[in-house]
Structure 1
Amino acid sequence: MSDGLDEQVLTGGNATPVVRRGGAVHRETGPWTPAVHLLLRALRDGGVTGVPEALGFDERGREILSFVPGETLTDAAPRVLWSIHVLRDAARLLRAIHDASAPLAGDRALVWRSNRHEPAEVICHNDFATYNLIVVGDTLSGAIDFDFASPGPRVWDLAYLAYRIVPFAEDSPDAAELDRAHRLDELITAYGGGFEAADVVAAMVRRLHDLREFTLTRRDATGRLDFGEHAAMYERDAARLTDWSPGLPYC
């Protein structure tokens, strides 16, 4: 039975339609949904705040998640989007998510939407980027859209976060004057260390090649030409990163 509330279509990094009904989010499910709900419970049990809570299913069989208030970091003003404290807080939030998810990484009975990547140290968000990070004012408050989560190495997520928040993505707005080497070091330090900058850059290149193939597959399946444009950007960015190291200009 419907509760009579209007549905508002939400934007962000979502691959499937997502709507808000009152104080909850409704979205389509799949074979991966039980694993994602288990992950969200593990995160909350591990003290991670600012992530959705699984609330069950609606009359259409869609999952119901608590709404994380705020705006996506992508939609925030440049002074917020590129602030160093938001970058650090994003790295700390990613570390908390990884640490809380680690006990699930070895459970091969769980079905995930994305491929498993070895070494499977944690459950990777797989899309931990500015469009899935939530801010209230100039403060990072949470992360959304865990639908593509799967087991993988910590650096797999950290590399993609670096790609989007340092940033190294060609389509990043108002980022020309940023000191990328410094921001990458700050990101790694805030995460808790354990990686050299070169490790993260190399993982970025691998991540972008993987993302290019995934995006081309989506283009072929949907006929959407913009997916082909995104794939071409990932290829160009991977080439730039292959030739870049800290101390060199990024262009």
Structure 2
Amino acid sequence: MAPVIRVGDTVRRVTGRWTPAVHRLLAALADAGVDGVPRVLGLDAQGREILTYLEGEILSDAAPDVRWAGEVLDAAGRLLRRVHDAGAALVADECLVWRSPRREPAEVICHNDFATYNLVVRDGGLVGGIDFDFASPGSRLWDLAYLAYRIVPFAEDAVGADGLNKDRRLAQLIDAYGMPFAGAEVMDVMAKRLDDLAAFTRDRAGETGRADFLEHAAMYQRDAAALRLRS
């Protein structure tokens, strides 16, 4: 939603009032030894944040045999769990200002956009996740459900996913994350997540005048309805 520029082995992006909180989160992940997430290197002369660059290809751009590989799905679930566990202590810090709203039950710091277009692969394997700008306190299921929507996938715009066993892949993702959630529970939160995303995207359409945002919002609404019929 704002310019992101690569400079050598770093990424530069504009900052906001949420940046100190995001940097605290990324520092907590680094302290916990969570690999595959950007490290904060400070600010440049233009006041932009400097982050390390994760070498690789965005998962949503990868070939279908990589994009929907079971090993990548497992790795994504495990990485999200590590991110959640490492950042959970920040939930109680009321001095932190986040870009996205706090959602109860606030158990962890959610990435809020942990999806195929923010995951990086290299040589057929997952190497990390990027773009933590919309992080905020929320529930584990809020994040896991959206990852499932994009990587199982349940999204209407998923390409090359025909023939995948979605129930089996959802169960596999839950197992990789390592919490005893039921598939129906994840799909219920997924539908609510899409309701929220549709409303957010319609608001963005009104602010920007972009018709494609309205098309995305309509897709989220269709997918939410399909999930409710499925469950």
Partner of 1:220: 206
- Distance in 2 between residues matched to 1:17 and 1:200, nearest whole Å: 33
- Distance in 2 between residues matched to 1:74 and 1:61, nearest whole Å: 30
Q: Report the RMSD for the aligned CA atoms in angstroms.
A: 0.6
- Distance in 2 between residues matched to 1:199 and 1:107, nearest whole Å: 29
Equivalent of residue 207 in structure 1, options 193, 196, 201: 193
- Distance in 2 between residues matched to 1:199 and 1:108, nearest whole Å: 29
Matched, 1:56 2:48: no
- Distance in 1 between residues matched to 2:24 and 2:143, nearest whole Å: 19
How far is the alpha carbon of 1:193 from its aligned partner? 2.3
Equivalent of residue 57 in structure 2, options 65, 71, 78: 71
How far is the alpha carbon of 1:194 from its aligned partner? 2.2
In structure 2, what residue type is equivalent to 1:139?
Answer: G
TM normalised by structure 1 equals 0.91
- Distance in 1 between residues matched to 2:170 and 2:102, nearest whole Å: 26
How far is the alpha carbon of 1:60 from its aligned partner? 1.1
Segments ≥4 residues shifted beyond 2 Å: none
How far is the alpha carbon of 1:137 from its aligned partner? 1.4
Equivalent of residue 189 in structure 1, options 159, 165, 175: 175
Matched, 1:166 2:152: yes
Instruction: Choose 163-172 or 55-64, whichever is displaced more.
Output: 55-64
| More helix by percentage | 2
Partner of 1:43: 29
- Distance in 2 between residues matched to 1:242 and 1:84, nearest whole Å: 25
Equivalent of residue 117 in structure 1, options 80, 97, 103: 103
- Distance in 2 between residues matched to 1:106 and 1:203, nearest whole Å: 23
How far is the alpha carbon of 1:41 from its aligned partner? 0.4
- Distance in 1 between residues matched to 2:3 and 2:52, nearest whole Å: 16
TM normalised by structure 2 equals 0.99
Where does 1:137-152 land on structure 2 (aligned, <5 Å)? 137-152=123-138
**1:105 match: secondary structure:** helix
Partner of 2:112: 126
Matched, 1:95 2:58: no
How far is the alpha carbon of 1:126 from its aligned partner? 0.1
Runs (5+) with no aligned partner, structure 1: 1-14, 246-251
Partner of 1:107: 93
In structure 2, what residue type is equivalent to 1:25?
Answer: V
Partner of 2:225: 239
In structure 1, what residue type is equivalent to 2:42?
Answer: G
Residue deviations 1:180-207, cap 9 Å, x none? 0000000001100221001100000110
In structure 2, what residue type is equivalent to 1:209?
Answer: D
- Distance in 1 between residues matched to 2:59 and 2:139, nearest whole Å: 25
Partner of 2:4: 18
Partner of 2:14: 28
Residue deviations 1:61-90, cap 9 Å, x none? 111101011111011110000001100110
Partner of 2:69: 83
How far is the alpha carbon of 1:44 from its aligned partner? 0.8
- Distance in 2 between residues matched to 1:115 and 1:201, nearest whole Å: 22
- Distance in 1 between residues matched to 2:76 and 2:206, nearest whole Å: 33
Residue deviations 1:27-47, cap 9 Å, x none? 011000000000000001111
**1:163 match: secondary structure:** helix
In structure 1, what residue type is equivalent to 2:39?
Answer: E
Runs (5+) with no aligned partner, structure 2: none
**2:92 match: secondary structure:** coil
